[in-house]
Amino acid sequence: MSTSEQPVGTRDWDTAHRAVAGVYFPHELRALDERDEVDLTLRTVELGGVTIGRLTWGAAVSIECDYPGAYEVNVPISGRLHSRGHHDELVSAPGQGTIFTADQPSLITRWTADCQVLGVKFDAEHLEREADRIRVAPIRRRLSLPPQIDVSTDAGASWLSLVTALSAQAREPVDLLANPLVGPQLASAVTTAFLLAVTPDSADPDHQMRPGMVKRVLDALHDDPGRPWTLAEMAAIGGTSVRRLQEAFAQFVESSPTRALTDIRLDRAHADLERAEGTVADAAARWGFSSPSRFAAAYRRRYGASPAQTLRGLRGTRQPD
């Protein structure tokens, strides 16, 4: 469901800290000047998987955060945002945005007193699932995002315009955003536009050069995904050790062999369910899942819906999860 939060305005440091942590992430906040008071303004709208807000501290601060389970993009509307994480010192000003990766500690070394930020938080599962959908790839990969987004490009400006328009709804909540049929569609639009803006010219990852051992194993998994594969059998096909195979998959596929197999199986099962071929239990058994419940849990994580919901969408009848 989509919700618009009531605007928050406070001059108390503890209240400001709790308000921002409740919307975005737990963090360590430090004042960088001698002001006794902060001057926080915060307005947010939650679309389901995507949170959009406007935030200013009214004081120079530093923020340390681990970004658990979600990505964040901070685009300064005014002022500057200095940060440091897995990259060197980075500065974003109007026209740029800093991208913080899920579960990677980063430090905003200086959020200037005049810096107002348009902040967008993407739940990791939501963003990664949308990336899978865009790539239409049977193997899920970790997202590799640049440290900044250029919102002066055509794609970047289009995304920023969409986010800016939606953030304006935080000032006057409207019934449309509260409609559960609308929020997910808007969240998907915001996410897709963001992914296209940060990877406009990226080549298909499946066309990257891979060592022969990885290609042989992937070919075998694609040819017979329902087989009860073991890591030792995969390594034998690759002509290498289990450890070396795992290292090669991590480097060239950005996944493990077992997760790649699971993703291939899910891709095949999803295709069967979209064609309404058999039941959920049939799909689970056909593609090598040990139990329908485990299959359903893995399917929901990847596709954001249960196998039964996919099947019902075509058959119009209820199927057991």
In a domain, 22, yes or no: yes
Which segments of the chain are extended strands (E)?
Answer: 3-4, 8-10, 28-31, 40-46, 50-56, 61-65, 70-78, 81-84, 90-92, 96-100, 106-111, 116-123, 148-150
Let me know: does 53 contact 68? Beta carbons within 8 Å.
no
Examine the fold and report which residue of 198, 223, 240 is the final residue of a domain before the chain moves on.
198
Contact (Cβ atoms closer than 8 angstroms) between residue 169 and residue 5: no
Mean pLDDT across 178-198: 85
pLDDT at 321: 45
Of 174, 198, 222, the last residue of a domain is 198
Q: Which domain holds residue 23?
A: 3-198
297 assigned to some structural domain: yes
**pLDDT: which is higher, 182 or 70:** 70
- Structural domain includes residue 304: yes
Examine the domain organization and report whether 276 and 136 are in the same domain: no
161 with 21, same domain? yes
Mark whether 22 and 161 lie in a shared domain: yes
For residue 6, the model assigns a pLDDT of: 58
Percent of the chain with pLDDT over 70: 85
Phi, psi of 265 (to 5 degrees): -60, -45
Whether residue 29 lies inside any domain: the answer is yes
Q: How far apart are CA 102 and CA 265, in angstroms?
A: 26
Question: What DSSP letter does each residue of 44-79 carry, written as one string?
Answer: EEE-SSEEEEEEE-SS-EEEEE--TTEEEEEEEEES
237/306 same-domain check: yes
Are 68 and 25 in contact, with CB atoms under 8 Å apart?
Answer: yes
Helices H / strands E in the chain, number of each: 12, 13
What is the pLDDT, as a whole number, of residue 180? 67
| Nearest residue to 57 via CA among 118, 96, 112 | 112
- Note the pLDDT tens digit of each residue in 19-41: 999 999 999 999 998 777 889 99
Same domain, 267 and 193: no
Give the pLDDT confidence score for residue 141 in this predicted structure.
Answer: 66
The confidence score (pLDDT) of residue 170 equals: 56
Classify the phi-psi angles of 320: left when phi > 0, otherwise alpha if psi is within -120 to 50, otherwise beta: beta
236 shares a domain with 125: no
Residues 207-233, mean pLDDT to the nearest whole number: 85
Is 203 among the domain residues?
Answer: no
- Check pLDDT > 70 for residue 195: yes
Query: What's the mean pLDDT in 62-77?
Result: 95
Domain assignment of residue 75, yes or no: yes
State how many domains the chain has: 2
Which residues are bridge partners to 247 per DSSP?
none
Whichever domain contains 236, its CATH number is 1.10.10.60
Residues 221 and 162 in one domain: no
Domain for residue 320, yes or no?
Answer: no
The pLDDT of residue 177 is: 63
- For 159-184, write each residue's pLDDT tens digit: 999 999 988 875 554 556 666 667 88
Same domain membership, residue 175 and residue 29: yes
State the pLDDT at residue 207: 41
Give pLDDT tens digits for 77-119. 999 999 997 667 899 999 999 999 998 999 999 999 999 999 9
Q: Is residue 147 pLDDT above 80, yes or no?
A: yes
Nearest to 184 by CA among 136, 117, 103, 129: 129
117/228 Cα distance (integer angstroms): 50
Residues 6+ apart with CB under 8 A from 92: 74, 75, 76, 80, 81, 83, 98, 148
Q: Which of 149, 175, 198 is the last residue of a domain?
A: 198
Strands 81-84 and 106-111: antiparallel
